[in-house]
């Protein structure tokens, strides 16, 4: 299957794989981070990287609707981060 | 000519990957929440923009270009907003910081170690 791709698409796939490795490196800070804010920042970074990975996969496999998934993922990640930040600041969600 | 185009796209991809990896290393190795956010917010924004630009130059149709531009705009606005809100929240909560940090009391209820009375008035 890999030989069916062009050379540039193979580079795109390699970048996506390396970004997955970077995502797992970010997961280290999300697990052992000393405070809650560290974990939130780390989860936000993971969300950003995931959006990029979904875009790359959408290009390599010629699936246009993956970009819709990436858009929705970015917005949901943003709303979740804002909600948790508000909860951390005020103690309640109102 | 197409070789040059491929070369430009490849350069954009590796540059974006470099910036994302630098942000990741900063997130892991730096000592403090504020320095970690300093590393990740800027590096992630720039690296994401570069990789999305490479994808935009490569996709065939206009629909995908529009969606990718929208995605880039979302990320370029969302990342600074999240960095600002998390920094504000961490400051109000009195997050741990490295001892050599220079602090300036920008609110009436200042920094780590002090009581956070009158927390509602900090936006005034």
Query: Measured between CB atoms, does A59 come within 8 Å of chain B?
Result: yes
Structural domain for A37, as ranges = 2-90
Q: What would the pLDDT profile of A9-44 be if each residue is shown by its tens digit?
A: 889 999 999 999 999 999 998 999 788 889 999 999
Name the nearest CA neighbour of B95 among B104, B87, B83, B106: B87
Over the stretch B100-122, which tens digit does the pLDDT of each residue have? 777 666 665 544 444 444 444 44
A11 touching B, CB under 8 A? yes
- The answer on pLDDT for B24 being more than 80 is yes
Partners of B75 on chain A (C-beta within 8 Å) are: 48, 51, 74
Chain A residues within an 8 Å CB radius of B44: 45, 48-49
Phi and psi torsions of A63, nearest 5° = -115, 110
Here the tokens at position B66 are: 């529009």
Tokens (6 digits) for A60: 């390599």
User: pLDDT band at residue A70, thresholds of 50, 70 and 90?
Assistant: very high
Give kind and range of the element (H or E) at residue A92.
Answer: none
What the block records as the tokens of A77 is 């990640």
d(CA B62, CA A91): 45
A79: contact with B, CB 8 A cutoff:
no
pLDDT class of A2 with cuts at 50, 70, 90: low
- The interface pTM score, or ipTM, of the predicted complex is 0.89
pLDDT at B117: 47
How many structural domains are present in chain A? Answer: 1
* 0.80 exceeded by pTM: yes
Q: Which of B79, B92, B93, B94 is nearest to B38 (CA)?
A: B79
Query: Cβ B10–A8 below 8 Å, yes or no?
Result: yes
């Amino acid at each position: 299957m890999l030989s069916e791709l062009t050379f540039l698409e193979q580079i795109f796939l390699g970048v996506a794989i390396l970004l997955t490795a970077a995502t797992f490196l970010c997961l280290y800070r999300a697990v052992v981070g000393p405070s809650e804010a560290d974990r939130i920042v780390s989860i936000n970074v993971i969300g950003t990287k995931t959006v990029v990975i979904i875009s790359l996969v959408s290009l390599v496999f010629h699936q246009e609707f993956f970009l819709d998934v990436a858009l929705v993922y970015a917005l949901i990640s943003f709303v979740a981060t804002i909600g948790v930040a508000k909860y951390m600041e005020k103690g309640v969600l109102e | 000519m197409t070789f040059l185009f491929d070369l430009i796209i490849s350069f954009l991809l590796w540059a974006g990957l470099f910036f994302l990896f630098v942000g990741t290393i900063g997130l892991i190795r730096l000592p403090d929440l504020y320095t970690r956010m300093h590393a990740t917010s800027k590096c992630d924004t720039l690296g994401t923009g570069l990789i999305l630009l490479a994808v935009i130059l490569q996709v065939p149709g206009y629909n995908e270009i529009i969606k990718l531009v929208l995605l880039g705009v979302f990320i370029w606005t969302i990342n600074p907003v999240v960095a600002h809100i998390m920094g504000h929240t961490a400051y109000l909560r009195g997050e741990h910081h490295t001892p050599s940090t220079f602090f300036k009391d920008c609110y009436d209820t200042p920094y780590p170690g002090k009581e956070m009375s009158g927390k509602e008035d900090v936006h005034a």
